Every structure is written in C-alpha cells, then in structure tokens.
Structure 1
Amino acid sequence: MKRMLFNATQAEELRVAIVDGQKLVDLDIETPAKEQRKSNIYKGVITRIEPSLEAAFVDYGAERHGFLPFKEVARAYFRSGVDVGRARIQDALKEGQELIVQVDKDERGNKGAALTTFISLAGRYLVLMPNNPRGGGVSRRVEGEER
C-alpha cells in the first residue's frame, strides 16, 4: 500500500516521502528560500545530444541545462521519416530544435533538472496530457454526459 509521509518539523524545510510498504518510491524536499521549478512548463532548445546516455541536454532558461531522456520525448518531436520502432536519439532529434518541456525533477547538486515532453496539467476534475496518446482523465466525481 502506498503512503505519503510529511515531515514539517522544521520551518525552513518540508519533506514529503512516498513509500510502498517499506520501499521508498519518491522523496521531495522543499525549501521556501529556493525557487521550485518542478511541474513548470518551458520552451527549450536542444543544446547537445548524447547518444551514449540516450539523452539530450536542453536549455530551458535555468542556470544548468536540463536532462531529457530519449524515452521522455513525444513522437511528435521526431524528425519526419524516422522509423519510430528503431529510432535512435541522434536520428530523431537535432541540436537547435525547439520543444516544450516540463520539469519532472528539480536540479540537485551538480545535476540539472530532469525533463519530459509528456506535459501533464492537473486540475480539480481533469488531467490534461496533450502529448500522450492515452493521456488525460476525468474525475470519477464528474458523472453522466458531462464526463
């Protein structure tokens, strides 16, 4: 069973952990003094493609460039004529290419933020995921024809 644990014993830091039984699934530490970028959406430019990492580095306006793994790139950003099943990052993307990215994980230490092109906008009754073919969902609270 997944649980969300909060630790707000110190005013300068809020810690949130998601655990599944005894296994830590995710840990997020928030400090009011530090600007949070997680879930923010930016227009970025690919500055470097690293085939050995199967990832690209994206300038999205932060101090450090973000890290975009190939599996987090929506097919809509692939160059035309690329075989989706056998695509390699250096064939599908190019340096200087613009794309819309969302911060998945904030910068930590000397590493840039983890990015995704699978944008997710969550509202009270709806989750909109425009680049995901199975994306989006409507709350169970919405019934009938409205759903």
Structure 2
Amino acid sequence: MKRMLFNATQPEELRVAIVDGQKLIDLDIETAGKEQCKSNIYKAVITRIEPSLEACFVEYGGNRHGFLPLKEVSPQFYQPGCGSRPSIKEA
C-alpha cells in the first residue's frame, strides 16, 4: 500500500516521502530560502550504497550529499545485455 509521509516539524524545511510498504519510492526535501538543485545534471561520486532504499548517496561538490534512487538512472546507462533495471546490488 502506497503512503505519502510529510515531515514539517521544522519551519524552514518540508520533507515528503512516498513509500510502498517498507520501500521508499520518492523523497523530496524543500528548504525555505534555498534554491533547489533538482532536475539539474551533475558529475558526482558515489559515497554510499543503501540496498534497502535501492539508492545511493553521492557527493557532487555541494555542501551536502545528494540522494540518487536507482529508478532515476536512465536505462541507457545499464550494462549491455541487461534488459531490465538491475538491482542496486548488481549496479
């Protein structure tokens, strides 16, 4: 069952997560007075892989680490011969 979770305990930050059971589907964080970096293209280094989230944390030169869900990676970057999206452990 999909659920949308909101965390607005801090006045300067709003966090919204979409989960399906125990699996994180999407996460958005909005900070008041801070420009969003979402939808831009960055060169980054993977710093940590989190299999339970099917995602990794990346360092892209900002003050904070980024979060990259595997579902956001374009299929053109999958290994040749892999017809479907691999699991994060295979990537």
The alignment's TM-score, normalised by the length of structure 2, stands at 0.53
Write the letter of the residue equivalent to 1:89.
I
Select the structure of larger CA radius of gyration: 1
Give me the whole-angstrom Cα distance separating, in 2, the residues matched to 1:67 and 1:86. 18
% identical equivalent positions: 56
> Structure 2: any 5+ residue segments left out of the alignment?
1-27
Question: Judging changes above 3 Å, is the alpha-carbon distance between structure 1 residues 64 and 70 closer, same or farther for their aligned structure 2 residues?
Answer: same
Write the letter of the residue equivalent to 1:85.
S
Partner of 2:76: 76
Cα-to-partner distance string for 1:28-70 (whole Å, 9 max, x where unaligned):
6652xx4x24343311111221111100111111122100011
Question: Judging changes above 3 Å, is the alpha-carbon distance between structure 1 residues 77 and 48 closer, same or farther for their aligned structure 2 residues?
Answer: farther
Question: Judging changes above 3 Å, is the alpha-carbon distance between structure 1 residues 54 and 46 closer, same or farther for their aligned structure 2 residues?
Answer: same
Alignment of 1:1-147 (within 5 A): 30-31=32-33, 34=34, 36-38=35-37, 39-81=39-81, 83-85=82-84, 87-92=86-91
2:75–2:85 Cα contact (<8 Å) kept: no
Partner of 2:7: none
Give me the whole-angstrom Cα distance separating, in 1, the residues matched to 2:89 and 2:67. 15
The alignment's TM-score, normalised by the length of structure 1, stands at 0.35
Root mean square deviation of aligned Cα: 2.8
> Structure 1: any 5+ residue segments left out of the alignment?
1-25, 93-147
Displacement over 6 Å in runs of 4+: none
